[in-house]
Amino acid sequence: MAITLDQLISRVRRELRGYTLDQASMTVLAADMLAADSTFMVELDDITEISRGLVEIDDELILVKSYDSQTGVVSVMGGTAGRGAEDTTAATHVNGALVTSSPTFPRSVIKSAITDSIRALYPSLVVFDIVDFPYVAAQTEYPLPADVKDIWTIVGRWVGPEKVSGAMSNWRFNSEAYTADFPTGKSVQLWSGITPGQNVRVLYTREPSVLTANSDEFTTTGYPERVADLVVWDTAKRLLPSLMSARLQQTSVESTERAQLVGTSDVNRAVQVYAALYAERLQQERDRMYQEVPTYQTFQGS
């Protein structure tokens, strides 16, 4: 089964919160909620109090003004101004959607950190893509897609029934091509030729694509699924220090109570563990990348 962004968020939350020590107060919507609503209703049987402050429904954070424990109606602070708090987007939510009061790690924050972690994998791990074009005897320079970051290998098809493509060793990647001639600003110059009309295949590297929709599969990034654990560990490493920041802002009584759950030294050790796991796993993936896709080209020029 393919790993989706939604599943990545769940995996990160399990790493950060565990299963028992830090359980947020939760309930569910008792009726559908529109993006412009300034009130919403929750199930009375699930919760006795929703505190003034942030609540999370799906990927949206909402500022709560008050909660009526008799009716289950929650009023939003500032009316619609309290919708889509903390750079989230006001959205519709269906009856039964989970409502989390004062989430320690909101989904929107985790999603943002996941995006940063995916982007940070490049250039240690690259995404490969291919562009093909026919060789023209009178042409030296050929256009490339805009997302090309570097060229890994170039092969040209030989003439004959064997359908063999051999390495073209004398080429130059031009990342600052004249846009009047090459609209993307990327081109490749071929200084060794093949029979005109035969196919040239350029294997190039690009940055990973980010995940946006919760249903997006991890392979949408361009990486294989096995790289997902790297993203989970790096995301956890990025978010854990926020526990220390929140602890510093609490009153002395709250700090004393929470110290059993969030000790500064504990957080530091956890960050170090995730950093070590990440570094070891990243090196394994880099080694595998070079083994599976060896670069046998000789770069000519600069």
Per-residue pLDDT tens digits of the chain, which is 302 residues long: 789 999 999 999 988 876 445 566 888 999 999 999 999 999 987 666 788 889 999 999 999 999 998 899 999 999 899 999 999 999 999 999 999 988 889 999 999 999 999 999 999 999 999 999 999 999 999 999 999 999 999 999 999 888 888 899 899 999 999 999 999 999 999 998 899 999 999 999 999 999 999 999 999 999 999 999 999 999 999 999 887 665 554 544 444 555 555 556 778 888 999 999 999 999 999 999 999 998 865 444 44
- Cβ–Cβ < 8 Å for 168, 194: yes
Q: Is 130 helix (H, G, I), strand (E, B) or coil?
A: strand
The rounded distance, in Å, linking the Cα atoms of 257 and 210 is 39
Q: Is the peptide bond before 123 cis (omega within 30 degrees of 0)?
A: yes
The rounded distance, in Å, linking the Cα atoms of 195 and 201 is 14
Taking the alpha carbons of 206, 211, 212, 213 in that order, is the dihedral positive or negative? positive
99 CB burial (10 A radius; 0-12, 13-18, 19+): buried
The rounded distance, in Å, linking the Cα atoms of 224 and 219 is 6
| Owner of token pair 């969030």 | 262
The rounded distance, in Å, linking the Cα atoms of 84 and 67 is 18
Beta bridge partners of 33: 93
